């Protein structure tokens, strides 16, 4: 028997119609960045996490960059990252 490495079909099947409808609404309204869709996502995600507010960003690299700035890292500081990682770990 062949066992797939990753099979998300059951999870996807349960959400398929809702997700496709949301994607179609965003696509049809050409709301690809910022706007009501992002505000709705941030509000819902904050509620799910129990935080007063969250900020959606464009990638995983941007939050690492912002966290480094908030942490006070600057030119000449040494940041050690794992050898087996994505480049954004160091770029941040």
Is the pTM above the cut of 0.75? Answer: no
**CA atoms of 60 and 92, how far apart (whole Å):** 9
Per-residue model confidence (pLDDT) at position 51: 97
| pLDDT at site 79 | 84
Q: Residue-wise pLDDT tens for the chain (92 aa)?
A: 888 888 888 889 999 999 999 899 989 988 878 888 889 999 999 999 999 999 999 888 899 889 989 999 988 998 888 888 888 888 77
| Neighbouring residues of 61: CB distance < 8 A, sequence distance ≥ 6 | 88, 91, 92
How many whole angstroms separate alpha carbon 41 and alpha carbon 23? 13
Amino acid 4: pLDDT: 81
Using the structure block, give the residue that is written with the tokens 């999870």.
11
According to the model, what pLDDT value does residue 49 have? 97
């Amino acid at each position: 028997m062949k066992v797939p490495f990753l099979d998300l079909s059951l999870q996807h099947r349960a959400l398929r119609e809702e997700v496709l409808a949301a994607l179609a609404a965003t696509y049809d309204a050409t709301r690809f960045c910022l706007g009501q869709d992002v505000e709705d996502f941030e509000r819902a995600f904050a509620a799910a996490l129990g935080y007063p507010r969250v900020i959606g960003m464009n990638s995983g690299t941007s939050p690492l960059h912002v966290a480094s700035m908030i942490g006070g890292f600057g030119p000449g500081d040494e940041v050690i990252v794992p050898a087996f990682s994505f480049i954004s770990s160091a770029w941040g």
